[in-house]
Amino acid sequence: MATAFKWALEFSSPMQLIALAATVSWAFFAVRLLYLGRLSQFKQVSTATITRCLALGFLNPALFYWVLFTAYDLLPAQDAMAINYTWGLTLPFIAACFSRSFPSVIEVCLALLSYVGILIIVTDGNFTGFEFENLIGVILAIGSTVLWGLSWVINTRTVERDQVDPELALLINFSMAVPVLWIILISTGSLPHLTGGAILGGIYVGLFEMGLAFVLWMKAMQLTDTPIRVSSLIFLAPPLSLVFIATVLGEPVATSTLTGLVFILAGLAGQQIVSSRKDVGSDNTELS
């Protein structure tokens, strides 16, 4: 993901990339739902639900991906990637706020452990000088995790409450975002130059990172009896991503990035353990 984003941004601005990718992703979901015969379900969706899904399109994909891509544009790929993986911590905190079940002291400490990792990365391990290479990029990268958490929780609650096909809800999200993004580009005179790199980057990000990735994730969660095991696969991605960043982008991996990533993954692993114990505890309570 990080390698693809950084490479694609060599040919397009963040706004241009999200417009191209969102268009591809919209087409992917439209064709997929039409082929599977599920597009007709749109007639059964209430006007209120459609309105909510359209409004959510401003949040994700429009705002979220613009913030994320801008962060990748400003920061080294390895820094943006490492910070972005703290979404695994941000998401449960945001979900807790909506459900009014506040996190435990252990969960707060684990979150702080991960954010120490971010601090190590963005200061290059130099706590005495305490200088950020690109503070705006760091803020945007952290902000993107908040936007992702918000959009995921709100969209999930909408889908569950209104009994909407998750992919159909995403198609409606994109149906709002795509025209808005292109209107912004046209009004600012920033239409992308459709070079081979720009087109390929938009297709790859839209199809694989924003389209197929969601479908495969949802399918995996439906097929497994233990979602915690599937979500644990997140820990395989950062090391692999660093390999691609170093080999494809030719970006030397800093020691501070590796150290910070260890802290971030330790916090995420701790959260996984705490969540699994909570699930086991609730199951035992129901059985008793």
Q: Which of 24, 9, 10, 39 is nearest to 178 (CA)?
A: 24
pLDDT tens-digit map of 112-164: 888 888 888 877 777 665 566 788 999 999 999 999 989 988 988 888 898 99
Give the C-alpha distances (Å, rounded to integers) separating 114 from 181, 224, 248, 268, 269: 33, 28, 27, 7, 10
Cβ atoms of 254 and 120 closer than 8 Å = no
93 vs 8, 84, 96, 104, CA distance in Å?
31, 15, 5, 10
Q: What is the mean pLDDT of the chain?
A: 85
Residues 271, 260: Cα–Cα separation, whole Å: 17
DSSP string, 36-85: TT-GGGGGGS-HHHHHHHHHHHIIIIIIHHHHHHHHHHHS-HHHHHHHHT
Which positions ≥6 away from 239 have C-beta within 8 Å? none
205-221 pLDDT, tens per residue? 999 988 898 888 777 66
Would you place residue 287 in the very low, low, confident or very high pLDDT band (cuts 50, 70, 90)? Answer: very low
pTM metric for this prediction: 0.86
> Any idea what DSSP says for residue 225?
S
The residue-averaged pLDDT of 188-212 equals 92
For the stretch 10-39, pLDDT in tens is 999 999 999 999 999 999 999 999 999 999
The residue to which tokens 């997929």 are assigned: 32
Tell me if 125 sits within 8 A of 255, measured CB to CB.
Answer: yes
- 281 vs 12 pLDDT, higher one: 12
The average pLDDT across 54-79 equals 94
Kindly state the tokens that stand for 231. 């979500």
pLDDT value, residue 117:
86
C-beta separation of 11 from 201 below 8 A: yes
Both tokens of 287, joined, read 């059985």
Closest by Cα among 246, 201, 223 to 77: 246
Distance of alpha carbon 177 from alpha carbon 171, whole angstroms:
10
* Residues 23, 28, 31, 36, Cα dihedral to 10°: -150
Q: What distance in Å separates the CA atoms of residue 187 and residue 189, rounded to the nearest whole number?
A: 6
Q: How far is CA 55 from CA 19, 139, 145, 183, 260, in A?
A: 17, 24, 19, 16, 36
Per-residue pLDDT tens over the stretch 253-275 = 888 888 988 988 888 888 778 77
Whether 92 contacts 271, CB under 8 Å: yes
